[in-house]
A = this chain, B = another copy of it.
Amino acid sequence: MSEQTASAKLTHETFGEDPVTAVGFMADDARVAARSLARATRGRKDAALLHIADRIQAQSAAIIEANKRDLQRGEHNGTSSALLDRLKLDQTRIGGLADALRELAALPDPVGSVVRGQTLANGLRMSQVRVPMGVVGAIYEARPNVTVDITGIALKSGNAVLLRGGSAALESNRALVGIIRDALADQKLPVDIVQSIDDHGRDGATALMGARGKVDVLIPRGGHGLIQSVVQNASVPVIETGEGNVHVFVDASAPQKMAVDVVVNAKTHRNSTCNTAETLLLHKDAAAGPAVLEALTKAGVQLHVDDRAAKMLPGGVQAPAATDEDWGTEYLDAHLAVKVVDSLQEAVAHIERWTTRHTEAIVTNDLANAEEFIASVDAAAVMVNASTRFTDGGQLGLGAEIGISTQKMHARGPMGLEELTTTKWIVRGDGHIRK
């Protein structure tokens, strides 16, 4: 199929239909494509990933052109420079997207792996085998790199995907989805493995959220508002991702250098990510306290402090008083709330009051306190003497990551390829019946 033919038809022919009907048809097409993809060998899927990577790089000029139109529209609409930066695609970033697809090709295929199995007393042979979910929906905001990331992970795990990328990245996403569908056609795979519902606007997103039975799982990626809107409104099962009101507790016994290293890294390594520290809890007897605050200040972090922390500030440093709003805020910026606590128990209670159950850390040299913290804190990840920035699929050795789940069902913490699969029980007998 020529690339013009495939990319001209980005989705099911739905012109004139209402969004619910249109998205329903697209989900049906996705289901048919998914059934075919579920039976594709790892070899075919990896070949497709590598080919998509090549096509994206070969057509980077067209992608950058489309992206420029999104950027111009964004500037015209007064979009912030931070958001424009996330929207932007250039040669280097496109190369990074292609390389990520190549890395995916090198990862093991989760499909077909046997989770457990045995021969039962009656001779029945049973095994529980990983199979793709089927049809995955993704709702995200103005980040065209997510289009490629999610497509790659879905393809590798054998799933079809319906993408809602948001109006701000409309042209970039249209270019990317067109290229991906062309590449799938080249590889004789169904192009409806990847479809964009962006043409159906907000009503399309609403239809996607309501398509229970047609869409197997919905993954929202973005800010608090987007995620809560999806969680509250979707009847399709949702995996909640990404909000991280992350705490670091510096215990009385924390070695000073370790406390400084871990806290500064957790806050400043990249302050816009969900695994970045947002509140520091200092034990009142922590000798490391003043050094930690001084290092943070030198690193350009604006502290928001309670009364006792104010007294530990380096001379001449100003810091506003922390309020409940500070304890509850994910700054995603060079700000950090600081509270002094009397005990590990007070730290744990503060965390339980404000946590988003993403990542919580302790710096300590006291074994009993380390174990107590691990057992007491209810979060996807607990760090002992390590930066909170390690809550990341790549860092934890999972390979690719489609987001960090902050819910308890299905997936918790970094979600890799396995988390986009479900299982099937296969039971083989010789005419076995129940007595």
Contacts and interface: CB of A to CB of B under 8 A. Distances in A.
Given A124-B386, A385-B431, A389-B434, A237 B395 contact: no
A374 interface: yes
Nearest to A254: B431
A257 interface: yes
A124 B330 CA distance: 26
A388 to B, nearest CB: 9
Interface string A382-400: 1111110111000111000
Contacts of A384: 426-429
Interface in A136-160: none
A265 B118 contact: no
Interface stretch (A195-203, A338-346, A407-415): A407-415
Given A120-B397, A134-B378, A382-B424, A269 B433 contact: yes
Nearest to A422: B408
A413 B425 CA distance: 7
Interface in A337-365: 363
Protomer copies: 2
A258 interface: yes
Interface string A215-247: 011000000000000011001011100000000
Contacts of A363: 431
A425 B381 contact: yes
A375 interface: yes
A208 to B, nearest CB: 16
Given A237-B407, A262-B431, A434-B390, A375 B422 contact: no
Contacts of A376: 35
A434 B235 contact: no
A56 interface: no
A408 B375 contact: no
B216 A383 contact: no
A427 B433 CA distance: 47
A423 B413 contact: yes
A281 interface: no
Interface in A82-126: 118, 120, 124, 126
B407 A374 contact: no
A379 interface: yes
A220 B389 CA distance: 38
A126 B231 CA distance: 30
Contact of A374 (B412, B423, B426, B432): B426
B382 A429 contact: no
A427 B383 contact: yes
Given A217-B408, A390-B124, A434-B389, A424 B257 contact: no
B408 A216 contact: yes
A216, A397, A429 — most chain B CB neighbours (10 Å): A429
B235 A386 contact: no
A133 interface: yes
A430 interface: yes
B217 A390 contact: no
Nearest to A34: B378
A39 interface: yes
Contacts of A425: 380-382, 391, 396, 412-414
22 contacts: A35-B376, A237-B409, A257-B431, A264-B433, A381-B426, A382-B424, A382-B426, A383-B427, A384-B429, A385-B430, A385-B431, A386-B433, A387-B429, A390-B429, A390-B432, A390-B434, A395-B434, A396-B427, A409-B409, A412-B423, A412-B424, A412-B425
Given A261-B431, A382-B424, A386-B432, 15 more contacts: A216-B408, A217-B409, A237-B409, A239-B409, A255-B431, A257-B431, A258-B430, A269-B434, A363-B431, A383-B427, A385-B428, A385-B429, A386-B428, A390-B432, A395-B434
